[in-house]
Structure 1
Amino acid sequence: MLIDLDGFALAPREWDLVLTAVYYDRYGWHTREQYESFVHHYGFDLMNWPGYPVLADVRELTMTPWMGGKAAAESRAAEEFVRRVEPIGRTAAGATGPCSEAADGEGWMLPMTVQWSGLSG
């Protein structure tokens, strides 16, 4: 028997359920029917919980470094990584001052001086 414990956690049910909801709600990786069946059998729809949007944002943020690690080898991962990092750069710009584009014009220069260039090409 093989078991993938990557998506398994012993935590409040909201943290345990957020990944399934994010996969359906934000990525479309589950169909409506699949998600509704899951909710029916589990007995709780996390997306009706008032804290869902914040928890989903946190979960997506924690997935960003994982996606970045795949970016060099997979073009779809690179596109997704850029899609995730660009809003962080815009948020950082609004919070701490203007972010300048990288010298090559391909990415963002974040206040931390981490440059995400060349990933979208």
Structure 2
Amino acid sequence: MSFSTSMTRLITVLALGSAAALSVQAQEPTTPSTPRADQREARQQARIAQGAASGTLTARETQRLEREQGRINQAEANAKSDGTVTKHERRRLHRMQDAANKDIHHAKHNAKTASAPGN
């Protein structure tokens, strides 16, 4: 086998692989994206986890905030379910996240703290 034959086969394999990847990508259903909502969700989850770890959130507060995040996730999934996130749906998600943000702040800065293990 000569260099040019092996090079030709390599190019053919790469071309077929690229075509297959493009074909798969084209067939995947397009899911509407909500990057700002996703980023806010990640930050809020991190804040809840940090509060639980540091003891500024009690177990009950943590559970309540996690349930609230779950409701936001469900609302986001519902908004995406028809393939389009409308301006109204996006506004609703942002308002829900605004409320969650305030709830996290209030829960982390109130007088309640988690009891230390063993007490």
Shorter-normalised TM range: under 0.3
Q: If the length of structure 2 is used for normalisation, what is the TM-score?
A: 0.25
Q: If the length of structure 1 is used for normalisation, what is the TM-score?
A: 0.25
Which structure would you say has the larger RCO, counting Cα contacts within 8 Å and 6 or more residues apart?
2
Going by fraction, where is helix more abundant, 1 or 2? 2
